[in-house]
Amino acid sequence: MSRKVYLHVGAPKTGTTYLQDRLTLNSAGLAEQGVHFPSRHALADPQLSQFRAALDLLGQDWGGPPGHAKGSWDALVRRVRRLDGTVVVSHETLGPAKPEAVRRALHDLRGSEVHLVYSARDLGRQLPAAWQESVKQGRTWTYRRFQRRMVRGLPWFARAFDLPSVLGTWGADLPPERIHVVTVPHETGDLLWERFCDVLGIAPVWAPRDAERVNRSLGVAETQLLRRLNTRIDHATRRGADFDELVRHMLADRMLANRRGTRLQLPPHLHPWAVSEADRWSEWITTRGVQVVGDLADLQPGPAVVPEEFVDPAAVSAKAQLGAALDALTAMTVEAARRPDPDARFTAKVRGGLRARKERR
């Protein structure tokens, strides 16, 4: 049996959701070509299954009820071992893994030719996207505080974005020809998918169905509104699955993302830092001799925004936030009206149970 396993470990906010969704939608056709995107079992969603496997490998347990990820990594490994050809394991949660988790992953995948894939994007776009994503996930920090912590390398996002650290940990025991950096182009289109396929050694036409799931950006006022909403909701609620489904997916991704808001940008004073980080990443890549698909120039941020044109979320007008708030309230009201009454559901459940008991007598 000949098997190549491509571990795509991030980075977050580099089109990972798009790539994973395209792999999922085209999994049957890709499998016919010997390219597999496995899940825990044949009927499971590969994206959700691989997310839980990543959590299990890292010893984490968030995004669901306690214990929901237990055993998921071993189940995924067993499925990988039954496959031949090219196997893709992809989730950005894996990026800042500790050395012991990396050693376990490589040990469990022994017998396969393991390749490491890391998609990298310029910080001029990546840092604003990361703050927005953290707010959608329930965080309450301001954009300024997030910036200060990112520069100091403290948040999870900073560790996941640190290309030399991530590749140095995951690639410590891999030859440079098995470490692949895919740069995210500045322009939109299929170029990212084509580059990803180049790494896997597959034809892009094998996956004709385009992705349906993407993490869409919010405007400045919309993000600030969501952050202020988070400050009024207790921490336990913000960590629950219902919050994720209602606020992140319905409110943020489907409603607020459709508003034509002002785009969040990298503050002008951080542009030199973003350039310096891109230089550090490029130097590490060149020195280590790892494989690059794309152009290292993609890692450089675009021109710095003119200070007068930068919109600080903390200074966005109350009028702009009010418009977003009214749209959000409307969406929440429509959603509440659409959902069945929980008391009615409980009553129907009790009545159904009583009928079942009578029928059994």
Digit-coded pLDDT (tens) for 290-333: 999 999 999 999 999 999 999 999 999 999 999 999 999 998 88
Contact 89, 80 (CB under 8 A): yes
Alpha helices in 35-155, H assignment, sequence order: 46-58, 72-81, 99-108, 123-136, 143-151
Q: Which pLDDT score is estimated for 352?
A: 66
Return all residues near 83 (Cβ < 8 A) that are at least 6 apart: 3, 36, 38
Residue 301, amino acid: P
Considering only CA atoms, which of 60, 93, 55 is closest in space to residue 75? 55
Compute the average pLDDT of residues 345-357. Answer: 61
- The alpha carbon of 136 is separated from its chain's Cα centroid by a whole number of angstroms, namely 12
Break the chain into its structural domains and give their ranges: 3-138+155-215+270-303, 218-263+311-341
Burial class (CB in 10 A: 0-12, 13-18, 19+), 346: exposed
Q: What is the mean pLDDT of residues 45-56?
A: 92
For 3-138+155-215+270-303, CATH number?
3.40.50
pTM above 0.75, yes or no: yes
179 beta partners: 116
Distance, CA of 168 to CA of 116 (rounded, Å)? 11
